[in-house]
Amino acid sequence: MSGQSAKGQLLESVIGYFTEHGVSDQSLRHIAAAVGSSHRMLIYHFGSRDGLLVEVAKAVEIRTLSQFEELAADLTDSAGGTTEFDTATLARRMWQLLTNPELAPFERLFFALTGSALQGDERMAPLRDLNVALWVEANTATAMQQGVPEEVARAHARLGLAVTRGLLMDLLATGDRAGVDAAMEAFIRHYEGRWWESQTAVAVTAPATGPSDRAS
């Protein structure tokens, strides 16, 4: 933790504790005692228990995104420095990472807090804003480095994120690892080889009615 701020070190300690013991409905005082800190220090750095949980979820999400970028870089290196690696291979390795049981408590936390954000809880707004944009941008950039046209890359980045998150929710809800793995493999097979050569850019048009019109 050398070079980290006091807040960063404390956040890492909390993440380490949650990794070992899970993210249960614990009080801020209990969490503070478990990581060798104090209730006062957690309030000072994070404002509240909800503030702490948002920062935990953000940190784990950003860390996972960095691991995705490292996997892509490793595949590029193994391809002799070219960008011609198989998207399906990257997707399979990323799925293995995301379904590591150690991540499950944080994924449950992420989905729970995002649900609160979508219900208008502004305390969760930072997580809501992180929810899609960073992953879409990272996936789009990786695909474009392989030569995928931007419009195609962006559409499939969003599609991949939606499928991955949907299957992660399925796994957390049902525990059916075999069934979820099979569904993901069926999806990934569409991305073997130079998959984008059969794709065309998707034209995006505004809906004829807005959300308020559809609700009426």
Lowest mean pLDDT among 5-14, 19-28, 160-169, 207-216: 207-216
- Mean pLDDT throughout 77-88? 67
Residue 212 clears pLDDT 60, i.e. is over it: no
How many whole angstroms separate alpha carbon 137 and alpha carbon 140? 5
Question: Could you say which of 1.10.357, 3.30.460, 3.40.50, 1.20.1280 is the CATH number of the domain covering 58-195?
Answer: 1.10.357
- Mean pLDDT throughout 156-182? 97
Q: Show me where the domains of the chain are located.
A: 1-47, 58-195
How many whole angstroms separate alpha carbon 114 and alpha carbon 62? 15
Q: What is the pLDDT of residue 3?
A: 53
Residue 209 clears pLDDT 80, i.e. is over it: no
Q: What is the pLDDT of residue 149?
A: 93
Lowest mean pLDDT among 12-21, 84-93, 122-131, 141-150: 122-131
- Mean pLDDT throughout 52-60? 92
- Mean pLDDT throughout 40-65? 92
The whole-chain average pLDDT of the chain stands at 86
- CATH architecture label of 1-47: Orthogonal Bundle (1.10)
% pLDDT > 90, the chain: 59
| pLDDT class of 103 with cuts at 50, 70, 90 | very high
| pLDDT class of 214 with cuts at 50, 70, 90 | very low
How many whole angstroms separate alpha carbon 18 and alpha carbon 122? 24
Q: What is the pLDDT of residue 99?
A: 97
- Mean pLDDT throughout 151-167? 96
- Mean pLDDT throughout 45-55? 92
> Is residue 26 within 8 Å of 65, Cβ to Cβ?
no
